[in-house]
Homo-oligomer: A and B are copies of this chain.
């Protein structure tokens, strides 16, 4: 990947909508080989983090707003600690990231989001010298794909999309999930020659019941997020 491609991807990211014009994100491109190897390890031994064409780390960033406050003689520190500001940070950063993804894909590149960056945020922040009020949310591995994995079937349109009010009929919702289970079982059977046959609800219940990244709550407070 070229420096021009990287710049175009970042500029596309910045073109996304931003809450109240706050622009609550920064993007770190990791080129250093040792840092890439370390990040691959920290994200759960994902070798593509080390070997992909380019690796971005998308961070919710309220630090520049602290600086803006300093420049204007306004102490904004306490206001940045509100739950609403944390939410704005997550939303702004993710809007920018998905714009980056579609820009990359439009260039024939492939992408993989790396949520594993949240496995070990203290070490990630140390490695990339990330200050308080800046929170790495996910990585993004980008490069020319060497496979065409196809799209996994998504939940039925009728299950995701509601008109005028949220569907309240539990049995109807469960029937939609059962129909989806069938299409997921077929998808796995076909892809693995019958080796995998699990249902979506089976896979998801088994995964989501596990406590994950429980340290994050304390970590966020220490980084001056979510204090109020």
The chain A residues found within 8 Å of chain B, CB to CB, are 7, 10-11, 13-17, 19-23, 25-32, 35, 59, 64-65, 67-72, 74-76, 79-80, 82-85, 87-88, 90-91, 94-95, 97-99, 101-102, 111, 113, 115, 118, 127-131, 134, 137-138, 151-152, 154-155, 157, 159-166, 168, 170, 173-174, 177-178, 199-214, 216-217, 220, 226, 228
B211 with A87: CB separation less than 8 A: no
Q: Which residues of B contact A199 (CB under 8 A)?
A: 72
| 3 cross-chain pairs, A with B, having the tightest CB-CB distances, nearest first | A94-B94, A98-B98, A68-B201
Shortest Cβ distance from A83 into B: residue: B217
Q: Which residues of B contact A168 (CB under 8 A)?
A: 129, 131
A164 with B31: CB separation less than 8 A: yes
25 A-B pairs within 8 Å (CB atoms) are namely A11-B154, A11-B157, A13-B160, A20-B207, A22-B208, A23-B155, A27-B162, A30-B163, A31-B164, A35-B164, A64-B173, A71-B201, A71-B205, A74-B205, A76-B209, A80-B208, A82-B211, A82-B217, A85-B208, A87-B216, A88-B115, A95-B97, A131-B166, A214-B228, A217-B228
A205 with B95: CB separation less than 8 A: no
With contacts A94-B94, A115-B20 known, is A28 near B130, CB below 8 A?
Answer: no
B131 with A10: CB separation less than 8 A: no
Query: Contact partner of A164 among B23, B28, B79, CB < 8 A?
Result: B28
Q: Which residues of B contact A228 (CB under 8 A)?
A: 214, 217
Expressed in whole angstroms, the Cα–Cα distance for A91 and B152 within the complex equals 19
Expressed in whole angstroms, the Cα–Cα distance for A155 and B35 within the complex equals 27
